[in-house]
Structure formats: C-alpha cells, structure tokens
Structure 1
Amino acid sequence: MTALGFLYPGHSAEDDYPRIEQLLSSDIRLDLVHTDIGEDAHRVDALRATGSPERLAAGLEQLRLSGAEAVVWACTSGSFAHGWEGAHEQVRGLARAAGMPASSTSFGFVHALREIEVRRVAVAATYPDDVAELFAGFLRAGGTEVTGVRGAGIVTAAEVGAWGEREVLALARSADTPDAEALLLPGTALHTVAHIPALEKELGKPVLTANQVTAWEALRLTDRRVNAPQLGALFTREPVVQV
C-alpha cells in the first residue's frame, strides 16, 4: 500500500480526492488533512498567510499517524504567491517538519509539464488577474512559455467550489490559444477531476488541473506511475515496471 498525504486548505473541492483514489491503483491511498485557510481571499497577503509554516505544520502529525510516505501542499495560490524561491523554501520547510518528501501543487504543474514534454501553455484561472499573472510568472520561472492568461476575477475559494462543468468548460474555452500545447486550470478549490476527459476532448490537447497534478506529484515523490486514462493525458503513460 502506498499512502499519499495532502494538506488541503479549507473546504471547497476536497471531494476530488476520493474520486482520484477510485481511479488509481487499488493499493494507493490518498489521505487528506484540512488546514486553516484564514481569510478566504485570493489576495497576495492572504494567500501567503494561508501557506505559512505554522498553518502547514498543524496538520502534519495526523498525516504521519496515517502512514503517509510523502506530503503535498494542495494549494496552488498558497505556494506560487511566495514566488519561485519562496515556494522552494516553503516545501523545504515542509519536508523538514514532516520528515518525508514534500512538494506543492505549483511545483506539481511544473513537473507535470516536463513529464508530458510541453513547453507552451495557456492558463485558465478563476483568480483575479493579478494573482493569475503571478502564476504565469511562476511557470515562466520554471521554464514554461505562457501563451495566454485568462482570470475569472473570483476572490473566494467558496465561490470557486460552487462551479460546475459548464463554468469550467467556458473558462477553458475562453483561455485557450491555438499555439498552446496544453491548458492549465490552477486552483485546488475548483472541481475538475470529473471534467478532464470532456476538457481534453473539447480542446484537443492535454489539460492539467490543480487536484489532478497534486495527486500526480505525490505519486512522483513516491516513485509511483499509474496508468489512469480518466485522469487525462498526464496519467496515460505506461507505468514503470519494477524488475
């Protein structure tokens, strides 16, 4: 059994994780602990506070007791809001406090793009424009070319969590550009896992979403590869065969 640990801020789209678990191998368990979101606002100061070391450390003991082998901070904005170097320091501190490999959703996007060998992406974010641009800047720092950024201007995770397939598809269509090799939907407050097949069919390209890449990043940390077509192009590569 491979146990994967996630620190998830507040309550919005956490039900994506049981759905992911059902689509993965039966010997993989996803353990999720909720952290204190503080002020529910997609504003840079509030986002940095959401990902503070104190708030992240508060959930680690429960994950250790669950037997988690790796932990991912399941929050895109609460990691990239610290900048490229600050986000690295955040996960280094998380790994030290947890005593296990650690990462964040923001780095999950960067590593997933390298996995599928994509360099040019469009960003469809529910965030206000200034926060969406911070994510684009984070991607650029990781070596990705951003062909376009569309922000939906939503301030709270609670509102994002109420979106359904119609709103997600509309945002994706509006943000996609012809020269983008993939479309990215950041924001772990957004329900996307059930919509990935429809998104990729509609756009005709890989679609990476926050909760999807968060789970993939935890698998990467534990050296697991899983073929799960319903989770999109990121999960359709053949799993590594252990000899």
Structure 2
Amino acid sequence: MTAVGFLYPGHSAEDDYPRIETLLDSDVRLPLVHTDIGEDAHRLDALLEMGSAPRLAAGVEELRLAGAEAVVWACTSGSFVLGWDGAHEQVRTLALTAGLPASSTSFAFAHAVRELGATRVAIAATYPQDVAAYFTDFLKSSDIEVVAAHGSGIITAAEVGTWGRDEVLALARAGDHPDAEVVLLPDTALHTAEHLPELEEVLGKPVLTANQVTVWEGLRLVERRVRGPKLGTLFSRRP
C-alpha cells in the first residue's frame, strides 16, 4: 500500500482525486486535506497568501495521520507566482514542516513535460492572461519553451469548478498550437480526470492537466510507477 497526501485549496475539483485513485486500480491511496484559501481570486496578492507557509502547515498533521509518505501542494497558481526560486523555497519549507518529501503542482508540470521527452508546450489556462504569464515564466526557468499561452480570464476557482466536458474541451482547443508537443491545462480547480482520453484524441497529442500531474508527482516522490491508461499518455508509459 502506498499513500500520497495532497493539500488542496478550497473546494472545486477535489473529486478528481478519488476518481484518479479508482482509475489507477492499484494499491495506491490518495488522502486529501483542504487548505484555507482566504480570498478566492486568481490575483497575485491572493495567490501569494493562499500558498503561504502557515496555510499549508495547518493541514500537514492530518496527512501524516492518514499515513502519507509524501505531500504535494495541489495548486499551480499558488506556487508558480512565487517564481522558480520562491516555489522551491515553498516546497522546502513544506517538506521540513511535514518531515516528508514534498512538491507542488507547478513542479509536477515541469517534471511531467520532461518525462514525456517534450520541450515545446502550449498553455490552456483558465486564469487571466497576466496570471498565465507567471506560469510561462516558471516553465521557461525549467528550459521548457512555451509556444503559446491562452488565458480565459476566470477570476475564481469556484467558477472554474463548475466547468464540464464541453468547457474543458473548448479550453484545450483554444490553447493548442501546431508547434506544441504537449498541451498543459494548469488549474487544479478544473475537473479533467474523466476527460483525459478524449482530450488527447481531440488534440492528437499528449495533454497534461493539473490534478493528473499532481498525482503523478506524488507517486514519483515515493518512487512508485503506476500505469493507468485512462489517465492519458503520462500514465500509459511503461516504467
């Protein structure tokens, strides 16, 4: 049995995690604790506070009691807005607080792109364009070329959490670019787990989504490779 813990901001698409656990059909458990997000806004000051050390530390003990062997801050915008160095400091602090290996969704994307052997990506973001630009800068610090970055202008995670299949597919299409080897959907508030096969079929290329890569990153931290063909190319590769 392997247990990977997640600190998830608020309540939007957290049901992706039990769905992914089911789709993996393995001895993997994915306990999740909700963090207090403060103000629900895709805005720099709100995102910096959302990912602050005290807010993350508050959920750590519950994950330890759940048997988590690693912890991932399941938030992209609440990590990449800190910049490459700041996001590293955020997960270092989290690891020290938890006494466990730690990471965040932003680093999960960087590691997953490398796992696929890709260097050129397109971003299909729910965020306003200025927030999406912070993600572009973060990925560039990881030597990933962003050939296009689409922002949808959505301010709150609560609104993103109401999006269904049609909106998710439309977002992916809007963000795709002919030169992109992979398309990234970076918001953990977006329900994507059940749409991954269709997303990849429609775009004809690998698609990485926030909750998908967050789970993959947690398993990477504990050195578990689990195949899940219904979870896209990232989980379909042979160890």
Are positions 1:53 and 2:53 aligned together? yes
Question: Is residue 107 from structure 1 mapped to residue 111 from structure 2 by the alignment?
Answer: no
Question: For 1:214 and 1:95, how far apart are their aligned partners in 2?
Answer: 16
Equivalent position of 2:170 in the other structure: 170
Asked if residue 75 in structure 1 is aligned to residue 75 in structure 2, the reply is: yes
Q: 1:14-163, aligned counterparts within 5 Å?
A: 14-163=14-163
Q: CA deviation at 1:227?
A: 1.1
DSSP-derived class of the 2:22 partner: helix
The letter for the 2-side match of 1:195 is: H
Three-state SS of the structure 1 residue aligned to 2:124 is strand
* Contact 2:26-2:226 at 8 Å conserved across structures: no
Partners of 2:237 and 2:124 lie apart in 1 by 24
Matched residue type, 1:212 = Q
The question of 1:4 aligning with 2:4 is answered yes
Q: Give the distance between the partners of 1:144 and 1:197, measured in 2 at CA.
A: 24
Matched residue type, 1:178: P
CA distance in 1, matches of 2:192, 2:26: 22
1-side partners of 2:233 and 2:212: how far apart?
11
**C-alpha distance in structure 2 between counterparts of 1:207 and 1:165, whole Å:** 15
Matches for 1:200-239 after TM superposition, within 5 Å: 200-239=200-239
Q: Distance in 2 between matches of 1:33 and 1:175?
A: 31
Q: What is the DSSP-based 3-state SS (H/G/I as helix, E as strand, rest coil) of the residue aligned with 1:187?
A: coil
* Letter paired with 1:199: L
Contact 2:227 2:235 in 1 (8 A): yes
Q: Could you tell me how far apart the structure 1 residues matched to 2:44 and 2:84 are?
A: 14
The offset of 1:80, in angstroms, is 0.3
Matches of 1:234 and 1:153 in 2, distance apart? 28
Which runs of 5 or more structure 1 residues have no equivalent in the other structure? Answer: none
Q: Which residue of 2 aligns with 1:179?
A: 179
Aligned with 1:215: secondary structure? helix
The 8 Å contact of residues 136 and 146 in structure 1, kept in 2 or not, is answered as: yes
Preserved CA contact (<8 Å) 1:77 1:187? yes
C-alpha separation in 1, matches of 2:167 and 2:79: 25
For residue 12 of structure 1, give the secondary structure of its aligned residue in structure 2. coil
Q: Distance in 1 between matches of 2:5 and 2:12?
A: 18
Local SS of the residue matching 2:224: coil
Q: Aligned partners of 1:61, 1:226: CA distance in 2, in Å?
A: 26
Deviation at 1:134, TM superposition (A): 0.5
TM-superposed deviation, 1:179: 0.6
Unaligned runs of 5+ in 2: none
Q: Does the 8 Å CA contact 1:25/1:226 hold for their aligned counterparts? A: no
Q: How far 1:174 sits from its partner (Å)?
A: 1.2
Q: How many residues align?
A: 239
Matched residue, 2:196? 196
Report the aligned-residue RMSD.
Answer: 0.6
1:144 is displaced (CA, Å) by 0.3
Give yes or no for contact 2:95–2:101 (8 Å, CA) kept in 1: yes
TM-score (norm: length of structure 2): 0.99
Q: CA deviation at 1:24?
A: 1.4
Cα distance in structure 1, aligned partners of 2:67 and 2:167: 37
Mapped to 2, the partners of 1:59 and 1:226 lie a distance apart of 26
Query: Shift in Å at residue 26 of structure 1?
Result: 2.5
Give the Cα–Cα distance (whole angstroms) in 1 for the partners of residues 171 and 238 of structure 2. Answer: 31
Matches of 2:210 and 2:26, distance apart in 1: 22
Hey, what's the Cα distance between the residues in 1 that align with 2:174 and 2:24? 31
Counterpart contact for 1:105–1:210, Cα < 8 Å = yes
